[in-house]
């Protein structure tokens, strides 16, 4: 029997577990360790609450979780509760599937002012992640600036612009919904440091902005290259740009505006004790499509700045790390491998924060194949796997949350949901554990 520990129970972790099951059959025992008492990582805390069809992929992970050779070991924090080195002594392979939950720092003068938040924090807040439940972003302001031209910027702009009715059927947490309903934001500026042909937004998500109840997107066609150039774009991008062009012709009869500002590079945040304005420099593109400042600056009055400029994997002590790219140093998912055991990484912890949920599937399969060929089915040389982990955690007074415990937490969340919502999430670890009666 081989023993594998996967740290992190998001999409990358579950696709890796699924692949290991396919390759080893009954010849493997997999422990999925998560610092939270609840599984699914980005699916629960990152995917937008009004995108329930994307979130439904958790049903597939649930099937894996319920199989006999996979255990969820929640509420166990790698670092304080058990170290990677200890896990390496217990399992044939340890796989880091810890995602990229930290914001890349904005690093501008004034970006430490109250009212500047990263997308990880803002998204975590409306999705009920325990780390960000207390964020309380300033929504008592006229305008917000969203920095970045990726899908996260789109999610954030849409969530700021939706009405309460438009959240029907979503699992946005009640406190965030109430705060967003009371928000006085009327303009959401979405800032891209490059142009419409360089956006990282996908067509379906962009198209949604054209159909909001109380908000309309706005673009300035002067920012666009000649329309004939759109034919040079790959089909998805061409569709996205077509949506952007269509936005120019929408009626301006809605209370809120999502204002796309291209060739706009934020250079400073200013304000007395809180954000009052964002200073932006106009840019132009170099021949190799990088943005460079033109020296022309202007100011955008706003009371909230949300940077959606990408994420980083938190380093783990003793694990080689690539600081420039914000991920574990690895070669095709292998961090270190020897005859006695291997350390691997998958998903965003391996590649950096790019790709859709589905990208993690081939990624997980590839790394599972490497584990399988390094540690073929057979006796593991003295590794005790989950038994050893249980003994160690028990001695340290750590009480893990099993998958059946999570199912009780889930039932409690479903039971207290507001009408039309699938669940009302618990937003603190204490509440989650209390739901278990511990």
> Is residue 205 near ligand NAP by the rule CB under 6 A?
yes
Which residue lies nearest ligand NAP, judged by its C-beta? 150
> Is residue 152 near ligand NAP by the rule CB under 6 A?
yes
Q: Order of strands, edge to edge, in the sheet holding 187-191?
A: 116-118, 304-307, 143-147, 187-191, 256-261, 215-218
Shortest distance, CB of residue 313 to ligand NAP, whole angstroms?
Answer: 13
Supply angle C-alpha 46, 30, 388, rounded to 5.
Answer: 115
Query: Which one among 310, 341, 347, 385 touches ligand NAP, defined by CB under 6 A?
Result: 310
Q: Which one, 93 or 191, has the nearer CB to ligand NAP? A: 191
> Is residue 193 near ligand NAP by the rule CB under 6 A?
yes
Query: Can you list the positions of beta strands (E) in 74-127?
Result: 93-96, 102-103, 116-118
> Is residue 241 near ligand NAP by the rule CB under 6 A?
no
Do β-strands 341-345 and 334-338 pair in parallel, antiparallel, or remain unpaired?
antiparallel
Shortest distance, CB of residue 195 to ligand NAP, whole angstroms?
Answer: 9
What would the x/- binding string for ligand NAP be over residues 154 to 183, using CB under 6 A?
A: -x----------------------------
Residue pair 121/311 in contact by the 8 Å Cβ criterion: no
Q: Which one, 78 or 209, has the nearer CB to ligand NAP? A: 209
Rounded Cα distance between 312 and 292, Å, is 24
**Sites for ligand NAP among residues 342-361 (CB under 6 A):** 353-356
> Is residue 202 near ligand NAP by the rule CB under 6 A?
yes
| Cross-strand bridge partners of residue 292 | 284
Q: Which stretch binds ligand NAP (CB under 6 A): 65-73, 109-117, 192-200, 333-341?
A: 192-200
Look up residue 350 and give its two tokens: 């391996």
Query: Which one among 151, 170, 330, 380 touches ligand NAP, defined by CB under 6 A?
Result: 151
Q: Which one, 148 or 271, has the nearer CB to ligand NAP? A: 148
Q: Which one, 4 or 280, has the nearer CB to ligand NAP? A: 280
- Which among 287, 198, 283, 190 has a CA at the least distance from the CA of 241? 198
- Residue-wise over 325-343: b if at least 16 C-beta within 10 A, else e? ebbbebeebbbebeeebbb
Residue pair 19/6 in contact by the 8 Å Cβ criterion: no
The residues of the shown chain that bind ligand NAP, judged by CB under 6 A, are: 147-153, 155, 192-194, 198, 200, 202, 205, 291, 308-310, 353-356
């Amino acid at each position: 029997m081989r023993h594998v520990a996967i740290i992190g129970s998001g999409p990358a972790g579950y696709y890796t577990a699924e692949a290991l099951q396919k390759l080893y059959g009954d010849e493997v025992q997999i422990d999925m360790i998560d610092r939270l008492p609840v599984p699914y990582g980005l699916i629960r805390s990152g995917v937008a609450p009004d995108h329930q069809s994307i979130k439904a992929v958790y049903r597939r992970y649930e099937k894996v979780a319920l199989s006999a050779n996979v255990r969820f070991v929640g509420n166990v924090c790698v670092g304080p509760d058990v170290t990677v080195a200890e896990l390496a002594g217990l399992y044939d392979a340890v796989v880091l599937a810890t995602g990229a939950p930290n914001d890349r720092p904005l690093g501008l003068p004034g970006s430490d002012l109250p009212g500047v938040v990263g997308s990880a924090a803002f998204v975590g807040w409306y999705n009920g992640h325990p780390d960000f439940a207390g964020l309380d972003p300033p929504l008592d302001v006229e305008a917000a600036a969203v920095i970045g031209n990726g899908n996260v910027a789109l999610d954030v702009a849409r969530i700021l612009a939706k009405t309460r009715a438009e959240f029907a059927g979503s699992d946005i947490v009640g406190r965030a919904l109430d705060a967003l309903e009371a928000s006085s934001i009327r303009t959401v500026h979405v800032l891209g440091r490059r142009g419409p042909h360089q956006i990282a937004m996908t067509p379906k998500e962009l198209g949604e902005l054209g159909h909001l109840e109380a908000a309309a997107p706005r673009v300035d066609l002067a920012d666009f290259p000649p329309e004939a150039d759109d034919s040079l774009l790959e089909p998805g991008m061409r569709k996205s740009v077509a949506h952007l062009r269509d936005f120019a012709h929408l009626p301006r009869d809605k209370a809120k505006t999502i204002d796309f500002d291209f060739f706009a590079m934020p250079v400073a945040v200013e304000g007395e004790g809180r954000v009052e304005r964002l200073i932006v420099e106009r840019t132009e593109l170099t021949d190799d499509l990088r943005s460079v400042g033109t020296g022309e600056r202007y100011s955008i009055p706003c009371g909230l700045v949300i940077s959606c400029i990408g994420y980083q994997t938190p380093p783990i002590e003793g694990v080689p790390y690539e600081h420039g790219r914000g991920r574990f140093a690895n070669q095709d998912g292998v961090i270190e491998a020897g005859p006695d055991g291997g350390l691997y990484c998958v998903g965003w912890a391996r590649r950096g924060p790019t790709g859709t949920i589905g990208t993690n599937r081939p990624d997980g399969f590839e790394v599972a194949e490497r584990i399988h060929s390094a540690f073929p089915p057979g006796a593991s040389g003295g590794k005790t796997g989950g038994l050893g982990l249980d003994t160690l955690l028990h001695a340290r007074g750590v009480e893990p949350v099993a998958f059946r415990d999570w199912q009780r937490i889930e039932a409690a969340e479903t039971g207290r949901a507001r009408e039309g919502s699938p669940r009302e999430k618990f937003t603190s670890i204490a509440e989650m554990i209390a739901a278990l009666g511990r």
